Structure 1
Amino acid sequence: MLSTTGRKEKLAVSTGSYIEVSSDEHYHATGNVWYHALLQENLASSKRKKLSVLHLNPLSNEDYSPPLITTAFHRLIRPVPPPDPFPEVGFEKGDMIDAAHKGGWWSGWVIKVLGESFLVYLRFEPDVIEVERKDMRPHWVWKDAEWFRCEKRLLTESEFSSGTEVEVRTKVEPFGDIWAPAIIIKKNEDETLLVKYGEENACRKINVPYSKIRPSPPSFGSRPFGLMENVDVLVASGWCPSVVSMVLCEYNRYTVLLGRNKKSKDFDHSLLRPTMEWKDGVWQTKEKVSDRKESPHAAEESTRIRVKVRKARSSSGTTVKNLPQTPVSSGEIASKMANVVISENILVSKKPEIAETKEFHSPIVLGVVATTLQAKPQRKKLKTMKKQKGSTNDSVGEKAHEESNNRESVNKRKRGRPHKFISEEPKQKTGVAASDPMLNNAVVETPKAKDSTMVLPFVKKSPCWKVLESMEIFKAMPQRPHFNPLLECEEESREGDAIGAMVKFTGLLEKVNNIQGDDSVTEINRIKECFLKLEEHGFDVTAPCSRIDKLLSVKESQTWALEELKVAEREITENDNKRRKLEEDIEELPKEIVELQRQLALVKEEKVAKDKEIALMQSYAEILDQKVQNVEQEFRETVTSPWK
């Protein structure tokens, strides 16, 4: 609907007047585009004649290059609309406006107010763009030499209305289906939606059915992601469904398996979000990858192992409470941590130093670096080793008695040295309660005597250990981590953290095997840093670090060679271009020579003709000169002739 302004105006007819001009391409009933222009000739009496105009910038009177329109008919020309009466006042939703866009004024209406800017629907393209207030003006219609204003448009809200931010499912190689952020332009008559997505300079518009579109997922905060959790990763084209295969040592970084080809790549936490599905108008979170779906072979692949820390079961060891306790000072605990219940004839051959620990406030499981034990003929064995199926209270009492004797024996032999906290890793383990009240619930593993032992700060209770130890990678590269840094962690989380470290080690080895020639030096160094962090837990990382160092050396040589190759290729290209230019010159020069020879022949012919013409003129001049002389002679004779 149009509302009159009561303002009539005649079209300027003189050269140099500012006008607005449209074109046949941009002029139609539903909307049009008007360009600011300068009239370069007077209006003709015939309205069928085209007029010459100069296209100007829509927001100024400066020349706009390149010109979009140079000539136009009378019906496509109108005066400049009246100025905006309230340039400081913003527009409201549904207001009909013109937006400065692509060198002209495009008609449309406001669909959303964005603070200092506005989301505008353009009728002509159609399109949805964001425009600032200074680049907008009220929409005017010039009809019968009078200006009219369009009334406010009534807009209906819906889940997928114009300007709504959504996500569109599209196929992108090599990821497969991804969800690309998009914005809805309009609803089509065939029950599809016209949307646009992509970068501003490479924006695409497509018609999509409702089955391939969904609202933008809600914000999820900043929580960390778990192993094997389904996530979406932000790649160049959109959100790619993926799975977390590894939590890296670096803060907030993850290794994920991208898309359908499951390519492994590292990403920051800010580029990840939980995978959510839009079903029946409700957002549903996708579950983690199920343990039941994993095959035995998949369990050997580190990035596909889902580590699940289970609660300790009583079959893995016996934790005994209410033991007779021997008073131990807190200072002694801080300096020595605890004493180990061992056979009195076992000698400790390696004595790693133990850093002074902080005061304990909760029961803990103690352990240090793996040690090699040398066993002498034993005079006495712990009764608990012989009577594991006997009474728990009796065995614990005997263990406590043996612990007291052994502690005194060890203290006498190792006076002045810090005691070690040893937990061996046998097939049969027996839990023994510490004698100090602060360590009442601590379980120390006491195996049968072996030539070599693995000392751990926790009890192995999870069945994941069997899966890990059966993996080929640990058979090829045996590992004996001590996990000493876990002493600073809570007791309940130590075993889970240790399993995670084992999985991380296998995953890093797989990443080393999958290093490609085009991987960056930063990514390779990041893998090495993760290995060095695992080395603090007792992992043997000499072989993988050596391989990484060699790869970095090869990479450096490759980088240098590639730089030299680029220089050589650039020089080859430049010389090849010069050679082509010379070949073109060689082809053109004979033609130019022929042309010059032709011109030379013509010049010579012209010269000969001129020579002949000059000779003729000279002969004619001589005749005329003789005639002049004869006339003069006759004149003198006539003057001097006697009178008769």
Structure 2
Amino acid sequence: MQSVRRDIIARYFKKGADVEISSNEEGFSGSWYAGTVIQPPGNTKKNSAKVLVEYKTLMEDESGKRRLREKLELVQLRPPPPRESRSHFEFSDEVDAYYNDGWWEGIITKVVGEDKYLVFFRGTREQMAFRASELRLHREWVYGEWVPPLDTWPDATPMNEELPSPAEVEVNREMVEHNFNPGERVEISSDEEGFEGAWFAATVLEKLEGGMYLVEYETLRNADDDAMLLREEVDSLHMRPFPPDVGLVDRFEVLEKVDVWYNEGWWVGVISKVLKNDRYSVYFSSSQEEWKFKHSDLRVHQEWINGEWVIAPQVLFANN
């Protein structure tokens, strides 16, 4: 597997390679920016080696003459996905929207006319209008593969050839209404500062009006009475079904996205180092922190995309 990792670095993160960069700045969670590798990792055997990148759309000075450069962890980078030919999108599609010089993860909440879509962003709680040319289907880059797989790879246009202009902002309060039933087990995400990237198990108690649900958490306690489980009204955009059991894996690998059990919930991170005695260092992009965990604290990461659970191709986890 270490040889597979070196091949991925050599192929996608060599000097001059186009990349997309995830931002850890407050208020920028879920965004990706186009950049170029200026200096690749000096030692591919060193898991925490930094990569020097230069942004294509972010500038270092107010005059806009110098592009911003940063040294970043390898887990903050991915190759730019080829842009698929797509003239229309559908309600509830998970998408990336081009806005403020970067791509932001969101969900389509309404189709308005032939070429206009309302996209809801969980991180900012805003809804904005975009054209089809300013959207792309959302996919995760998992250990060298796009998940779910690209549909039209042969006909794809490289993302860096032409970036669309920023969309005109239109705030709209309409919400998506998913169907969750009382008694159903779900997971809840939070917008509160310090809890980005975390999912907490809960049970649906009641369906309310306006796409809201009353839920009871399985691990979070009421602040006023620690003997009682926390109950809360949550909108459907912060809910997903409880992930299915996909079984245990013998070993996780560097650059593999995982969920980590920590502080009463599951937190999304990336394996940055494989340690001795079934332990791992995991990097969390939302907080720019790296923590050590036991193998038993991790589970296979799954993405709820367009109404389906998606995981990385199992062949990538084989011992190569």
Q: Structure 1-normalised TM-score?
A: 0.21
Query: Hey, which of these two has a bigger chunk of strand by percent?
Result: 2
Bigger radius of gyration among the two: 1
Query: Hey, which of these two has a bigger chunk of helix by percent?
Result: 1
Q: Structure 2-normalised TM-score?
A: 0.40
Higher relative contact order (CA 8 A, sep 6+): 2
